[in-house]
Amino acid sequence: MDVERARSIATIAADCGVSVETGRRLGDLTSLGVGGEIRTLLRPRTVASLASLLGELHGLEIPFRVLGGGANLVGGPGPFEDPVVLMRTIRQEPVFEGTLARAGGGFNIKRFVRACAAQGLAGLEWAEGIPGTMGGAIVMNAGSYGGQMSDHVVEVEWLAPDGSRRRRHVGAQDFAYRQSPFRAEGAVVETVFSLARDTGPAIEARLRDFQVRRTASQPPGERSAGCIFRNPPGDSAGRVIDAAGLKGLTVGGASVSEVHANFIVNRGDATSEDLFALIGRIQEEVARRTGIELREEVIRWS
């Protein structure tokens, strides 16, 4: 990034009330812990300041990237020249209106599920252990244990790349497996869910059940990006990788989890090169042994 462009971004951010950091590593902001230097990290505190920021960047034709919780993101070695907007710094507490629950885009998924439970609202218990932010979960249509975000979403508000605020009613038909209409639409800033009333003990029992299942089936205490590959039609990517005998396969500091074969774990010193090489090895071996072409579920920044 040239000095003049960096100065322009810093000036824009200051004018919009957005703080700036330089020299942060993407790996420090993701669950997997892999990714190189971010030249400029922008930290808005409000949706209004974010809207102003995006509008100014758009006016100067400066592209940007949006980073939520970094839970399903695998990063390259960098450096990342485009400014990165960190959504998790926007503080919006959930709002409840009857059986409707409003979640800010930067709000933590686990905290939102727990807040819903405290209100006696059920439907998202399966998401209790999913890391990341609500905006990212909507963009990816995150799911687990038979549930997915689109099951309960009724309205989404987002900021277009030019900073304009947009809102639309949505239903399950607008989403697909790990896909949403918002992948290239700027930044999701609020989602409205329609949930169901239930008793506290019943909700807590389901939360405990999902916790037990997750602990038993996913690598505890290890850095990962969740499921790396999408499930093939009618099958499970984890089962396919396991059947190919690839649990424990290692490249550098990155390994296929011994607990869940669709997880790649960072043993502590994994690099982007290790990760991408291991993903390629898995795809090649699975295709050679089974004929199945595995597609990545994670978002890749290069």
Annotated catalytic residue 128: no
For residue 79, whether the previous peptide bond is cis, meaning omega lies within 30 degrees of 0, is: yes
Q: Does the annotation count 178 as an active-site position?
A: yes
Task: Decide if 227 is catalytic.
Answer: yes
End-to-end CA distance of the chain: 16
Q: Which of 25, 39, 102, 178 is catalytic?
A: 178
Q: Which of 125, 128, 190, 297 is catalytic?
A: 297
Q: 227, 258, 267, 296: which one is catalytic?
A: 227
Helices marked H in the chain: 3-15, 47-59, 109-118, 134-140, 200-217, 237-243, 272-290
**What is the edge-to-edge ordering of all strands in the sheet holding 250-251?**
223-227, 263-266, 254-256, 250-251
Provide the phi-psi class of 205: left if phi over 0, else alpha when psi is between -120 and 50, else beta: alpha
SS3 (DSSP) at 75: strand
Are the CB atoms for 112 and 94 separated by under 8 Å? Answer: yes
d(CA 276, CA 193): 36
Environment class of 128 (CB within 10 Å of its CB; exposed 0-12, middle 13-18, buried 19+): buried
Which residues form the catalytic set?
A: 178, 227, 297
